[in-house]
Amino acid sequence: MSVESKLSTEHTMIDDEGDDDEFYTPASHDAILARKSILEYSLNKSKKRLLNFKNSLEILPQTDRIKKNIQSRRYLSEKLSKLDLFTSEIVSTRPIAKIRICPSSNDQQQHNAIFSTWDGDVKLLDYEQMQVKDQLNSIHRGKITGLDWNVDGKSFASGGEDGIVKLFSFENEKIQESNSIEAHEARITAVKYHGCASLLATSSFDSTWKLWDLAKMTELYLQEGGHSTEIFNLDFHPDGSLLSSVGGDGNCVLWDLRSGNRILNIRGHVGQLYNGCWSPNGSEIATAGVDGVIKIWDIRAKGKELSSIYLHKGVISDLRWENMYGRYLISSGYDGKIGIINADTWKVINSMSGHTGKASTLDAHGEIIISGGWDRSIRKWCEY
């Protein structure tokens, strides 16, 4: 069977314990080409990841490597345990919905982040100086809950309560709207760029997620099943081969983008799931939602639960891995707390308070955390 015919066959549901019907349509020619691109990308990415891991093992003898690794992790944990509220700024007239740090901050020695608000604004923040450098007001009708940078850090996308996706260019510390897509019939909950850069995934209150070709501004794939209620979040595997979605039904569903198959349905939470994110090593996925519990799942063991972490009281609003090495997790909650979790032991390193209301979003760069909340503020957490 050729690659084209294999990729164009109708999907089969591997997890037969799902409660929800899935709806399929034959893959279009563009969708088949996209799946081939994803397949090639994921194979190359996984080879590089495994080669880097192998090379890291050969640099030092095993005993020295283990000793150095332990010392490094202890040093990091000590530094993270000392993080505290450094400064805060009121930056909006409405609550902060989402904040994301630019992935090119390392290369350009800049400290840029974008954040969105409940009144449809998108703003560019220098989180070193804690100053808003540029902004576009009321670009969406209502709150903007989907926000993500492209992998090159030169563009980003937003998704709003109006069901529209908007694309932006970022150059010379200015943001400019470049295009838009009428993507969903209901509120968009998440937007996520694939590593291929020209692909974007969106999820919505309409219980669907979609994959878009931004080069042609066309819809490649529509997944109508998998969740019985709204989908709150989605994320791509670091190698780009899989996508995870979490929803109001409390399920975390894993999808194979190379074939379109649903391959795993993870259950274990009580109530709605708001967050699901892959670790940079691609082996674990972390989930959290209204039950206030962060759960870690081992995908290599078919979704075996590794740990349940009780850090927050009530809703966990955002959950992020350290983006480079996955050495720690950070979380924000409606209890106003910002948490840091050791990714080796799954123990809480730090629990910080500072928001005067619910903390709604956060992100990290190195040993700096920035967060936003219902108190209309952006807060920076770092070591004094």
Q: d(Cα 347, Cα 29) in Å, to the nearest integer? A: 47
CATH number, domain of 38, equals 2.130.10.10
Is the predicted pLDDT of residue 73 greater than 90, yes or no?
no
- The residues with which 372 forms a beta bridge, in sequence order, are 361, 378
Is the predicted pLDDT of residue 19 greater than 60, yes or no?
no
Whether 169 maps to a domain, the answer reads: yes
- The residues with which 369 forms a beta bridge, in sequence order, are 364, 381
> How sure is the predictor about 48, in pLDDT bands with cuts at 50, 70 and 90?
confident
- In single-letter form, the type of residue at position 122 comes to V
| Selection from 43-47, 140-144, 225-229 with the highest mean pLDDT | 140-144
8 exposure class (CB count in 10 Å sphere: 0-12, 13-18, 19+): middle
Taking Cα atoms as reference points, which of 292, 290, 227 lies closest to residue 254? 227
Tokens of 159: 């998704």
Q: d(Cα 366, Cα 211) in Å, to the nearest integer? A: 31
Q: 194-198, 203-207, 227-231, 291-295: which range is least confident on average?
A: 194-198
Tokens of 96: 């902060």
Q: d(Cα 291, Cα 288) in Å, to the nearest integer? A: 8
Is the predicted pLDDT of residue 64 greater than 90, yes or no?
no
Tokens of 281: 């090593």
Q: d(Cα 146, Cα 210) in Å, to the nearest integer? A: 13
CA dihedral angle for residue 344, residue 345, residue 346, residue 352, rounded to 10 degrees: -90
Is the predicted pLDDT of residue 65 greater than 70, yes or no?
no
pLDDT for res 13: 33
Long-range contact set of residues 87-90: C-beta below 8 Å, sequence gap at least 24:
87/130, 87/379, 87/380, 88/130, 88/354, 88/377, 88/378, 88/379, 88/380, 89/130, 89/131, 89/377, 89/378, 90/375, 90/376, 90/377
Q: What is the DSSP letter of 10?
A: P
User: With the C-alpha atoms ordered 306, 312, 316, 318, is the resulting torsion angle positive or negative?
Assistant: negative
Is the predicted pLDDT of residue 157 greater than 70, yes or no?
yes
User: Cβ atoms within 10 A of the Cβ of 241, count?
Assistant: 20
> How sure is the predictor about 9, in pLDDT bands with cuts at 50, 70 and 90?
very low
Chain centroid to CA 179 = 22
Higher pLDDT, 67 or 307: 307
Report residue 37: phi and psi, to 5°: -65, -40
pLDDT for res 108: 55
Q: 47-51, 107-111, 310-314: which range is least confident on average?
A: 107-111
Tokens of 251: 């399920």
- Spatial contact of 221 and 259, defined as CB atoms under 8 Å apart: no
- The residues with which 53 forms a beta bridge, in sequence order, are none
Whether 112 maps to a domain, the answer reads: yes
* Cα angle value 146/151/155 (rounded, 5°): 65
pTM of the model: 0.89
367 exposure class (CB count in 10 Å sphere: 0-12, 13-18, 19+): middle
Whether 283 maps to a domain, the answer reads: yes
Quick check: helix, strand or coil at residue 173? coil
Whether 17 maps to a domain, the answer reads: no
pLDDT mean across residues, the chain? 90
Percent of the chain at pLDDT > 70 equals 89
Number of domains the chain is built from: 1
Give CA separation, 44 vs 31, 55, 240, 310, in Å: 20, 16, 10, 37
Is the predicted pLDDT of residue 2 greater than 50, yes or no?
no
Whether 235 maps to a domain, the answer reads: yes
Mean pLDDT of 125-144: 96
Higher pLDDT, 171 or 254: 254
Full residue range of the structural domain in which residue 106 is found: 29-382
Is the predicted pLDDT of residue 21 greater than 70, yes or no?
no
Tokens of 371: 């967060």
> How sure is the predictor about 57, in pLDDT bands with cuts at 50, 70 and 90?
low
Sequence-distant (≥ 6) Cβ neighbours of residue 57 within 8 angstroms: 65
Give CA separation, 189 vs 17, 81, 239, in Å: 26, 32, 23
Sequence-distant (≥ 6) Cβ neighbours of residue 67 within 8 angstroms: none
Please count the residues of the chain: 384
Whether 6 maps to a domain, the answer reads: no
Tokens of 204: 């919505």
Strands 144-149, 155-160: pairing kind: antiparallel
Q: d(Cα 125, Cα 92) in Å, to the nearest integer? A: 12
**pLDDT, tens only, 340-367:** 999 999 999 999 999 999 999 999 998 9
